[in-house]
Amino acid sequence: MIRGIDVSQHNGELDVAKIKQSGVSFIIIRTSYGMYYEDQQFRRTVAKCEVQKMPYGFYHYSYARNLKEAEQEVAGMLASIAGKHPSYPVYIDMEDSDYWKKNNGNPSNEVYQEICEYFCKRVEEAGYYAGIYANLDWLKNRLRSPRLDRFDKWVAQWSAACTYDLPYGMWQYSSNGKVNGSSLRTDMNYALIDYPSLIHPLQKEETYLKIGDMVNVIVNRSYDGVPLIEAVLHHTYPVIEIGNDRVVLGGGLNTAFHIHDICKQDTSPTLSNQIRVTDRVRVVEGALDIEGKALASFVYQQIYEVMEISGDRVVIGQNGMVTAAVHMRDLRVS
């Protein structure tokens, strides 16, 4: 069996190099939850896994109670993972650990099965390997259906053995593991399948960045933790030096950054060509609203829909509710 962990923002900022040195062979990363809230550590963790050549997969915690809500969830998740290369499955996390579903409609087993099937089919259509995560009780009772048999299962059963009586590929055996580089309590897993060989191996020669790439700074803080002026977020810079997690940017900046605090420049010719109404976008960290006022800190951690564009002024929001009006230059297509 292959030892791995699953993580979310609750594990804090990870040191993937230390995690890999501790004998962990893969990480399943939470992308998001509900309709649609991106995990605050998702992008950083993916970038760190890319740097360390750590195999990874994804999971989305679903709050969907019907197919319409499931459609919103899977569309958001697929937008977030576009361009990523997981060598482990992309899972829907189907459970009700906070009893929200029970207290808000309490869907039938058939509806939950329909949601899982829809999610997995959409994931497969997007070119990924789909799977379902749930605890033993849910898998044996609420999600037991021939329509779900063909999808891989990730069983949560915190015990000395997994007693699920149908085929499964992953077993979460503890929620209280200790792994150097992660939080004190970390979910521990065993994979019974060599997923990278089944899906596609990580390419040894592949690198996340190379010298000469043009990048944007997404966190205005240097590698050494020194705060930088907000203006650095609004320009692109060439990569002039790479060393593991440390990347030096030129173009007059000549400053080192953590690799997860920068992103490759979109090659589209202009922002006006990149961003359109209904696009899903993120706000650059440190950006102000159109009137120069500060935004709440949570704004930088979530994904929004473009509701209106007028020149440089872009109105963004979620579920039809306006969040803010910002400059187009302060948005990145997600």
Please name the residues in contact with 47: beta carbons below 8 A apart, sequence gap of 6 or more: 208, 259, 260
pLDDT tens figures, 123-174: 998 889 999 999 999 999 999 999 999 999 999 999 999 999 999 999 999 9
Mean pLDDT, to the nearest integer, of 105-131? 93
Q: Is the pLDDT of residue 116 over 60?
A: yes
Helix (H) or strand (E) holding 249: strand 246-249
251 near 213, Cβ under 8 Å? no
18 near 50, Cβ under 8 Å? no
For residue 187, what pLDDT is reported? Answer: 96
106-115, 223-232, 254-263, range with greatest mean pLDDT:
106-115
Instruction: Measure the CA–CA gap between 52 and 245, rounded to whole angstroms.
Output: 9
pLDDT level of residue 208 (50, 70, 90 thresholds): low
CA 39 from chain centre, in angstroms, equals 6
pLDDT level of residue 274 (50, 70, 90 thresholds): low
pLDDT tens figures, 281-311: 888 877 788 887 888 878 888 889 999 887 7
Please name the residues in contact with 12: beta carbons below 8 A apart, sequence gap of 6 or more: 41, 182, 183
CA 161 from chain centre, in angstroms, equals 30
Alpha helices in the chain (DSSP H): 16-21, 42-52, 67-81, 100-103, 109-125, 136-137, 195-198, 271-274
Kindly state the greatest CA–CA separation across the chain.
61
For residue 202, what pLDDT is reported? Answer: 38
Instruction: Measure the CA–CA gap between 153 and 145, rounded to whole angstroms.
Output: 13
pLDDT level of residue 263 (50, 70, 90 thresholds): confident
Mean pLDDT, to the nearest integer, of 309-333? 85
pLDDT tens figures, 43-90: 999 999 998 999 999 999 999 999 999 998 998 899 888 888 899 999
Please name the residues in contact with 241: beta carbons below 8 A apart, sequence gap of 6 or more: 211, 247, 248, 256
pLDDT tens figures, 209-234: 788 888 888 777 888 888 898 888 87
pLDDT tens figures, 25-50: 999 999 999 988 899 999 999 999 99
Please name the residues in contact with 115: beta carbons below 8 A apart, sequence gap of 6 or more: 62, 64, 66, 67, 70, 92, 94, 107
Instruction: Measure the CA–CA gap between 176 and 186, rounded to whole angstroms.
Output: 6
**DSSP string over 46-87:** HHHHHHHT--EEEEEE---SSHHHHHHHHHHHHHHHTT---S
CATH of 2-198, one of 3.40.50.150, 3.20.20.80, 3.60.110.10, 3.30.70.1290: 3.20.20.80
CA-wise closest residue to 92 among 74, 69, 65: 74
For residue 265, what pLDDT is reported? Answer: 60
Q: Is the pLDDT of residue 204 over 80?
A: no
- Is omega for the bond preceding 36 within 30 degrees of 0, making it cis? yes
Mean pLDDT, to the nearest integer, of 253-267? 75
Cα R_g (the chain), whole angstroms: 21
pLDDT level of residue 21 (50, 70, 90 thresholds): very high
* Second CATH level (architecture) for the domain 271-333: Roll (2.30)
